[in-house]
Structure 1
Amino acid sequence: MQGKICCFFGHRDAPDTLADDLYTAAEEMVLLEGVTTFLVGGHGNFDFLAAQTVRQLRRVYPHIRLVLVAAYASALRSPRVREGGFDEAFVPDTLAKVPFKAAIVCRNRWMVQQTDFVIAYVIRAEGGAYTAVEYARKKGKKVCLI
């Protein structure tokens, strides 16, 4: 992946009303920070909204890329992924021997390690999104909370 990278983390039950805020935050990453690649996870409504946002942004900024980083190989076979408009979709090699229950946490850590910026929707101090954002902060990543 070339250029700067931004990933998304948020609660799976995120409301659809976040769409405008997500678009604004992602567009600022493109314009102000030079982000060219966006990583999404593919679990729950927040990830769906994030992917939808990047697809909308590509209409204005066709150079940006949308990459699905799946936690499980089975996720790559879903119709939502095949028809999702992703430039790339894969499971990181580092997850090959990770137990099923730990795959999302390990995938989130992998995403943080690859990224320069994080856009997040976290309203509870618990769960995978919260843990990923705290890890990103610990690693010195710039986090934009919406």
Structure 2
Amino acid sequence: MDLFTVSFFGHRIVPEFREAEERVESLIHTLLLEKEYVEFLVGRNGDFDQIVSSAVKRQQRRVRDDNSALILVLPYPTAELRDNLENFEAYYDEIELCSAAAGSHPKGAIQIRNRQMVDRSDLVVFCVDHSSGGAYQTLRYAQRKKKETLNLAHFEGYR
């Protein structure tokens, strides 16, 4: 099976929420139709993560749900996960804890997790409109690693 892995990163607050949502929906729709199997790697740290997770679930229902997985990648176990494990397991297809990040300071752990997600991705999707913060740092990392990137804040379309 040809596995295509996509990770998503964005600022905690997305001012153009609806536009970002439309762009994500379009991208996910295209990937579900064109790729044999897609792993969608997401976090749970802000607006963009919420947009992506919801869009993946909607497109799985509308297009197809047999060729993809929505995977929540956490830098460390959280109280929210512990207290709501059943709900998380019902929503996400898989939940991963980044072992390399688990023993780090929380802010550092997120960046370690982000880099591991980038390293395993064929496409890294961003919604980054300013040059500061963790999402911007992850964008720069992906560029240094010569990963295929798409910034939906400056959207030109996928392929």
TM-score relative to the length of structure 1: 0.89
| CA 1:133–1:29: 2 relative to 1, 3 Å | farther
**Residue 14, structure 1, aligned to residue 20, structure 2:** no
The correspondence of residues 112-127 of structure 1 with structure 2, limited to 5 A, is: 112-127=118-133
The answer to whether the Cα contact below 8 Å between 2:122 and 2:148 also exists between their aligned partners in 1 is yes
Query: 1:108 deviation in Å?
Result: 0.5
| CA 1:136–1:84: 2 relative to 1, 3 Å | farther
The answer to whether the Cα contact below 8 Å between 2:21 and 2:55 also exists between their aligned partners in 1 is yes
The amino acid across from 2:99 in the alignment is D
**Residue 129, structure 1, aligned to residue 139, structure 2:** no
**Residue 76, structure 1, aligned to residue 81, structure 2:** yes
Query: 1:90 deviation in Å?
Result: 1.9
The correspondence of residues 41-56 of structure 1 with structure 2, limited to 5 A, is: 41-56=43-58
Unaligned ranges ≥5, structure 2: 153-159
The answer to whether the Cα contact below 8 Å between 1:76 and 1:89 also exists between their aligned partners in 2 is no
Query: 1:97 deviation in Å?
Result: 2.2
Question: What does the per-residue CA deviation read over 1:107-127, in whole Å, with 9 as the maximum and x for residues that have no partner?
Answer: 100100111101110001010
Provide the C-alpha distance between the structure 1 equivalents of 2:35 and 2:126, rounded to a whole number of angstroms.
16
How many residues are paired up?
145
**Partner residue of 1:61?**
64
Superposition misfits of 4+ residues, deviation over 4 angstroms:
32-35
Q: CA-atom RMSD, angstroms?
A: 2.0
TM-score relative to the length of structure 2: 0.82
Q: 3-state DSSP class of the match of 1:106? A: helix
Query: 1:54 deviation in Å?
Result: 0.7
**Partner residue of 1:138?**
144
Query: 1:30 deviation in Å?
Result: 3.3
Question: What does the per-residue CA deviation read over 1:1-44, in whole Å, with 9 as the maximum and x for residues that have no partner?
Answer: x7110000001101431211111122233344555110001111
The answer to whether the Cα contact below 8 Å between 1:37 and 1:67 also exists between their aligned partners in 2 is yes
Higher Cα radius of gyration = 2
**Residue 111, structure 1, aligned to residue 114, structure 2:** no
**Residue 4, structure 1, aligned to residue 4, structure 2:** yes
Which of 39, 43, 47 is residue 37 of structure 1 equivalent to? 39
The answer to whether the Cα contact below 8 Å between 1:37 and 1:66 also exists between their aligned partners in 2 is yes
The answer to whether the Cα contact below 8 Å between 2:3 and 2:39 also exists between their aligned partners in 1 is yes
